């Protein structure tokens, strides 16, 4: 978890580093322990107003694919620099015509221990054909919580950010050493 200021600096770095003609605008920059995901907006294809939904869907899909292929070298160059600077993999995505597409991105394994009642939930999802495995079922559960708990998760993230700020101000925080500290103020090993 990073602070709001660190996130703003990260977003600013990408905004300043990305080629001007890469995206119409920088939409979103998200970060976790393993990955930075950069999503930009690209122009919608120009279609006749009478275009069908199928035609619009195909045009947007083609626009996204064309963008991905055309900009690969530029995105790889920025990603290499960012990975070296921030120590995280960089993934890319776009928004176009109301669609969001993520390109190759990190799928990090997560280990957990579950008690029987939780395993039964996962096994029920498998038996119902919702998931192929316990891993798929757990990922499905996380996506469900993510979809329905946005406000709660946002409040929790804000609270965690506050905790990080308070910790940074604690006695172990780096700062100036008092010049008038006497021997009684100096920690000893004894």
Distances (CA, A) of 119 to 111, 112, 124, 135, 162: 14, 11, 9, 11, 34
pLDDT score recorded for residue 177? 44
Cα–Cα distance measured from residue 178 to residue 169, given in angstroms and rounded to the nearest whole number: 16
How many other CB atoms sit within 10 Å of the CB of residue 57? 13
Least confident span in 18-22, 57-61, 180-184: 180-184
Cα–Cα distance measured from residue 178 to residue 165, given in angstroms and rounded to the nearest whole number: 22
Higher model confidence: residue 179 or residue 77?
A: 77
Q: Are 15 and 75 in contact (CB under 8 A)?
A: no
Q: What is the pTM of this model?
A: 0.66
- For residues 45-49, give the mean pLDDT: 92
Secondary structure letter of residue 57 according to DSSP: H
pLDDT in tens, 113-142: 899 989 999 999 999 999 999 999 999 999
pLDDT in tens, 158-187: 888 888 888 888 887 665 544 444 444 444
Q: Are 91 and 103 in contact (CB under 8 A)?
A: yes
pLDDT score recorded for residue 180? 43
């Amino acid at each position: 978890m990073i602070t709001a200021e660190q996130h703003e600096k990260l977003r600013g770095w990408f905004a300043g580093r990305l080629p001007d003609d890469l995206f119409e605008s920088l939409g979103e920059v998200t970060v976790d322990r393993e990955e930075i995901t950069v999503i930009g907006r690209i122009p919608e294809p120009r279609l006749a107003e009478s275009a069908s939904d199928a035609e619009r869907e195909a045009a947007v899909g083609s626009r996204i694919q064309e963008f991905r292929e055309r900009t690969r070298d530029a995105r790889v160059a920025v990603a290499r620099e960012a990975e070296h600077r921030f120590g995280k993999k960089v993934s890319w995505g776009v928004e176009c015509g109301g669609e969001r597409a993520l390109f190759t991105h990190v799928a990090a394994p997560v280990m957990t221990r579950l008690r029987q009642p939780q395993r039964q939930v996962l096994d029920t999802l498998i038996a119902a054909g919702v998931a192929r495995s316990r891993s798929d079922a757990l990922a499905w559960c996380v996506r469900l919580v993510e979809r329905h708990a946005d406000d709660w998760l946002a409040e929790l993230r804000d609270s965690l950010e506050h905790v990080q700020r308070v910790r940074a101000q604690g006695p172990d925080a780096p700062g100036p050493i008092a010049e008038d500290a006497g021997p009684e103020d100096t920690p000893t090993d004894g």
